[in-house]
A and B are shown apart, each in its own frame.
Chain A
Amino acid sequence: QKEVEQDPGPLSVPEGAIVSLNCTYSNSAFQYFMWYRQYSRKGPELLMYTYSSGNKEDGRFTAQVDKSSKYISLFIRDSQPSDSATYLCALSQGGSEKLVFGKGTKLTVNP
């Protein structure tokens, strides 16, 4: 079983839709959870970072962590064509900066 599992998609939605992206993980030592966005032919950029279980909101983006189920989610409200990108979850254990990335989910938002 891989440390981090992420459905690669692709996922195609109409503009304005609510998008749900998910990752599961197997190692309970992961304590820090991040979502990165990667546009085509660019490096990833950090969208959101969270430590504890629960929700964290930033504009149209909400990150959700359920440590008991080892399940993390990113929700995008009122999706826009500019949100079209690959979304990568990344996890880290406490005391280490090492990030373990999921495969990424490719999202296309159609106008």
Chain B
Amino acid sequence: EAGVAQSPRYKIIEKRQSVAFWCNPISGHATLYWYQQILGQGPKLLIQFQNNGVVDDSQLPKDRFSAERLKGVDSTLKIQPAKLEDSAVYLCASSSPGGSGRFEQYFGPGTRLTVT
């Protein structure tokens, strides 16, 4: 079974520039999550999709961050414009909804973003 794929793995941009991250979840997983993990911290949920609908985006800074999941499969997360404090690893995860499986989230390797 292929895991969660993310690209790019690393990105360096200057502040005020824009950046986009891509995620392909495990086949058949209806639920997709984007997390932000700042160095020395645990992951923080930014947005959760169920198929192509948003379930929770309460911690997404909507003035600069946006995410979409067209067709309920791949997802992109965009930051525009980036700030220095956006430097972090952006993790994508997926899970099967319902039952105990919904707590078993499978994470991708992450995209390490550095904003200079």
Contacts and interface: CB of A to CB of B under 8 A. Distances in A.
Interface of A: 4, 6, 8, 32, 34, 41-46, 49, 88, 90, 92, 97-99, 101-104
Instruction: Place the interface of chain B in its size category.
Output: 20 to 34
Given A97-B97, A98-B56, A49 B44 contact: no
A43 B108 contact: yes
A99 B45 contact: yes
A98 B41 CA distance: 17
A63 B48 CA distance: 27
A102 to B, nearest CB: 5
Given A43-B109, A49-B100, A88 B31 contact: no
A98 B95 CA distance: 11
Nearest to B100: A49
26 contacts: A4-B42, A8-B40, A32-B103, A41-B109, A42-B110, A43-B93, A43-B108, A44-B43, A44-B91, A44-B107, A45-B106, A46-B103, A46-B106, A88-B42, A90-B42, A97-B31, A97-B97, A97-B103, A97-B105, A98-B48, A99-B43, A99-B45, A101-B43, A102-B42, A103-B41, A104-B42
A41 B102 CA distance: 24
Contact of A49 (B91, B104, B107): B104
B42 A92 contact: no
Interface string B85-116: 00000010101010010111111111010000
Interface of B: 4, 31, 40-45, 48, 55-56, 91, 93, 95, 97, 100, 102-110, 112
